[in-house]
Amino acid sequence: MNKKVTDKNLNALTIMVNEGNLSVFGEESRFSILYNSFGFENKDKNIKESSHGQNITFEYIAKQNPEVMFVIDRGIATGSDVKESSTAKSVLNNDIIKSMDAYKNDNIIYLDSPTWYVNDGGLTSLNKMIDDASKAVN
90-126 pLDDT per residue, tens:
999 999 999 999 999 999 999 988 888 887 677 888 8
Q: pTM value? A: 0.91
DSSP state of 86: G
pLDDT at 48: 84
Per-residue model confidence (pLDDT) at position 120 = 63
* Phi then psi dihedrals of residue 111, to 5 deg: -70, 155
Reduce the DSSP state of residue 9 to 3 states and report it.
coil
Total domain count for the chain? 1
Give the Cα separation of 112 and 114 in Å (integer).
6
In CATH, what number is assigned to the domain containing residue 7? 3.40.50.1980
- Taking 70 as the pLDDT cut, the residues of the chain under it are 81-82, 84-85, 120
Predicted local confidence at residue 108, as pLDDT: 97
What integer pLDDT is reported at residue 85 of this predicted model?
66
State residue 76's pLDDT score: 72
Instruction: Domain of residue 54: give its range.
Output: 2-134
